A and B are shown apart, each in its own frame.
Chain A
Amino acid sequence: MAERYSSFTPGGTGWFLQRVTAAFLVVVLAFHFFLLHFVNHAYEITFLGTQARMENIGYFLTMVLFLITATFHGVNGVYNALVNQGLEGTQKKVVLAVLVIASLALVAQGTYVALTMRGMI
């Protein structure tokens, strides 16, 4: 069992970030739901309305940050869940790579969308 000592990959950072992002997400997700389903109803959403909200730089930045944290939180969660189920070796590396690429794509796409909404593109 001694070889374990050499393969240190402290999982603390991921664990910690998962909690920090969760704490952040509670607030933003509640806000998001409240705003888009209770204040403004989802079925009333129009591009104009969206654009108007996005014009506000604070809201825009919050949404982008929301996206980034949610993506990290979600993808990191999925990754951990898989690792917990005993994902090992190359498989693990591949999954990690796929997940990283997917989340990068998601964030890129999301940011791009947000920018268009803001009318900046």
Chain B
Amino acid sequence: MSTQQAEPETQEAPEDPEMKGAESPAAEEQKGGGMVDDHAEKKAELEGETVHLKVFRYDPEVEGKQEPRFDDFHVPFEKGMTVLDSVMYARDEYDSSLTFRHSCRQAVCGSDAFFVNGKQRLGCKTQISDLEQPVRIEPLPHQEVVKDLVVDMDHFYDQMHTVEPYFQDEDTPPVDDLDEQRQSPENREKIKMSSRCIWCGACMSSCNIAAGDNEYLGPAAINKAYKFAMDDREGEEIKEHRLRILEQEHGVWRCQTQFSCTEVCPKDIPLTEHIQELKREAVKKNLKFW
């Protein structure tokens, strides 16, 4: 269980100059309703209150949105409300042009990683009551913004694809004899965490190195490779091939163990640990030839 999600943030209301950006007309209407409270409320007292959202807005085509701004929304709080619920409410009730990706609402599709109060989080997995107000919601940093909270994920997908993310076994036995490959429960346990990745991109966005070096494979892709490299069902040769991909210049060595990825991963995957293990594997492999 990710403790970082449950802990209330103790962050001051940001003084970002951009933040005083124009209120959207819709939000103003709301404010006219007499619900202006800029100060953070205690979670227990939220019931029946409104939540103050500050949402990043940008649209390359629409005048007035070309220059990024923050819009304020005040949405009525309900018990159990998540960040995703709150932006959906804002969209459906106040401004239908508010754009973000979302689908499953249960932390499996990985569509809705946002930058919430200064941290990469899944909107659907973050309780509003755990956050300081106003809740600042932005698109993932280090990815280009397509519109509002939607970022361009292509680079992330490219990196995922670079590590040859598919099972490779040359001598797969014929399928029709209905015999599965054997795998020990221990080995399955070893790759368990790594197999949970939902491609949300939070880790990549949080990693400073990935931000600086566009070619760095990044924690998610390395973790994906880990899943295969550590799976005993794939032979030694393929494992070596995988390590060769990982130990290229922009591979595992780029990781400077900043741990941000591990901290933000909504699936609690020990990313840094996996990357470090692969570094050791790669060194071990190379030492053999010395």
Q: Does more than half of chain A's interface fall in helix, strand or loop, or is it mixed?
A: helix
User: Which residue of chain B is the closest to A18 with respect to CB atoms?
Assistant: B253
Q: Does B27 contact A (CB under 8 A)?
A: no
Q: Contacts A9-B249, A11-B249, A15-B283 given: A1-B161 contact, CB under 8 Å?
A: yes
Q: Are A4 and B212 in contact (CB under 8 A)?
A: no
**Known contacts being A84-B212, A84-B256, is A4 close to B283, with CB within 8 Å?**
no
CA distance A5 to B212 in the complex (A): 21
> Does chain B have a CB within 8 A of A58?
no
In the complex with contacts A4-B162, A8-B244, A15-B213 CB distance below 8 A: no
Whether B184 sits at the interface, judged by CB under 8 Å, is no
In the complex, how many residue pairs between chain A and chain B have their CB atoms under 8 Å apart? 53
Provide the residues of chain A in CB contact with B283, threshold 8 Å: 12, 15-16
Could you tell me if A85 and B162 are in contact, using CB atoms closer than 8 angstroms? no
Residues of A within 8 A of B251 (CB): 11
1/0 contact string of A1-45 vs chain B (CB within 8 Å) = 100110111111111100000000000000000000000000000
Size band of the interface chain B makes with A: 20 to 34
For B209, list chain A residues within 8 Å (CB).
84
A89: Cβ under 8 A from any B Cβ: no
| A8 with B213, Cβ < 8 A, contacts A1-B162, A84-B256 known | no
Docked complex: B227-249 residues within 8 A CB-CB of A: 244-245, 247-249
Q: Which single member of B161, B162, B286 contacts A12 (CB below 8 Å)? A: B286
**For residue A86, which residues in chain B have a CB less than 8 angstroms away from its CB?**
212-214
CB pair A12 B213 closer than 8 Å: no
Identify the interface centre among A8, A10, A14, A83: most chain B CB within 10 Å of its CB: A10
Q: Is B49 an interface residue (CB 8 A)?
A: no
Query: A85–B212 contact, CB under 8 A?
Result: yes
Is A10 a contact partner of B256 (Cβ separation < 8 A)?
no
Bound: A11/B251 CA distance, A:
8
> B188 at the A/B interface (Cβ < 8 Å)?
no
Task: State which residues 148-203 of B face A: CB under 8 Å.
Answer: 158, 161-162
The smallest beta-carbon distance between A19 and chain B, in angstroms, is 9
Residues of chain A within 8 A (CB-CB) of B253 are 11-12, 14-15, 80
Within 8 A of A (CB), among B203-226: 209, 212-215
For the complex, what is the distance from the CA of A92 to the CA of B76, rounded to whole Å?
A: 55
Chain A contacts for B256, CB-based, 8 A: 84
Q: Which residues of A contact B161 (CB under 8 A)?
A: 1
Q: Which of A68-98 contact B (CB under 8 A)?
A: 80, 83-86
Given A11-B253, A13-B286, A86-B212, check contact A4 B279 (CB 8 Å).
no
Question: Within residues 247 to 277 of chain B, which ones have a CB less than 8 A from any CB in chain A?
Answer: 247-251, 253-254, 256
Query: Pick the contact of B248 from A4, A16, A84 — CB < 8 Å?
Result: A4
| Nearest CB of chain A from residue B154's CB, rounded to whole Å | 12
Contact B249 A12, beta carbon cutoff 8 Å: no
A20 CA / B254 CA spacing, docked (Å): 18
- Using known A-B contacts A9-B248, A11-B253, A15-B253, determine if residue A84 contacts B213 with beta carbons closer than 8 Å: yes
**Contacts of B162 on A, CB cut-off 8 Å?**
1, 4
CB-CB under 8 A from B279, the residues of chain A are 12, 15
Closest 7 CB pairs of A and B: A11-B253, A10-B247, A9-B249, A16-B283, A1-B162, A15-B253, A12-B282
Binding site for B on A (CB under 8 A): 1, 4-5, 7-16, 80, 83-86
